[in-house]
A and B are shown apart, each in its own frame.
Chain A
Amino acid sequence: MAVKAFSPEWASAFKDEVNKSTVYKTAGKGWKWTVGLVVEAEPDKHFAEPKGIVMDLFDGEARDIQVGSAADAQKCDFVITAPYSRWKEVSTGQLDATKGMLQGKLKLKGDLPTIVRYTKASQEMTECTTRIAVEWPDEK
């Protein structure tokens, strides 16, 4: 069953997918920082308010993934910011997250050498989002 984009149900499904991934378990070994995803509002796409996804990732495991405010996400050690439609492109596999960061489509804040060291883990996290059936507000 599809879950609403960036809803608590989506966050829970995302956490399950990450924890099912053996690739992430290996690639994320040693990671010990929080990651915030800021989803900027796009009212014309029926995504009226910005949201924040706060991810507590530790040593190859997603301990918690919660939906909160953009301000919550901005407090994390690493913050990736993009408008709703960009995140939709990432979650539907139309935009590779690495390419998106190099092109500035996804804006990254945090220690670059650390995030680059975990490129494979972040790619697998992106893969995990593509496995979730999502109900997109602009496709209703």
Chain B
Amino acid sequence: MHDADRGRMARRKVNAGADTALVDYADKEPSAFASMLGGLIEANVKSRPEKESDFARLIAKVGIWVTDIDEGVTLDFKGGRMTVHNGLESQRTITIRADAQTVMSLSNLKIGLFGLPVYYDEVGRGVAGKLLRGKLKIDGMLPNVVTLNAVTRIFSVQ
């Protein structure tokens, strides 16, 4: 069934205490990639207060497909919680397709003025170049730029 709330921003305070799990896994055996992304986002949100508000507000289903390992995950952001699915689920808001190195580069994008990703430093230029050359594909990017920027901020370790 279509989730009418997808892509909207909710307003809820994240209880990001060290013992509170913000991330759960839909599959009994999460893939290594699912565990890594889930662990990365959870650690990021818990250790960086500036990411909490994005995480608390974001409602979106984000697919990430790593082209050179043929594996992907769906990150289902539910306004303060996230469920990680092995593989691509249906009705995604955004789907990112890139090789492993590029996916890691996305998490190394710096966040600049107004919370926007920085595309003019070395990492940013690399990501932008891959987007232009079609080595990084983002389905649903144009109608969901705000969501994409929020995901990038949550994902960024910089």
Contacts and interface: CB of A to CB of B under 8 A. Distances in A.
- By secondary structure, the A interface counts as helix
B158 interface: yes
Interface string A55-90: 000000000000000000000000000000000000
B111 interface: no
Given A112-B39, A112-B40, A113-B47, A103 B69 contact: yes
- By secondary structure, the B interface counts as helix
Contacts of A117: 108, 157-158
A16 B44 CA distance: 34
B157 A116 contact: yes
Contacts of B139: none
Interface string B98-140: 0011011101100000000000000000000000000000000
A111 B108 CA distance: 15
Interface stretch (B11-19, B29-37, B52-60, B142-150): B29-37
A111 B39 CA distance: 9
Interface residues of A, number: 17
Interface residues on B, range: 20 to 34
B71 interface: yes
A113 B33 contact: no
A48 interface: no
Contacts of A102: 32-33, 36, 66, 69, 71, 100, 103
Contact of B107 (A101, A103, A116): A116
Contact of B32 (A103, A119, A123): A103
A108 B32 CA distance: 10
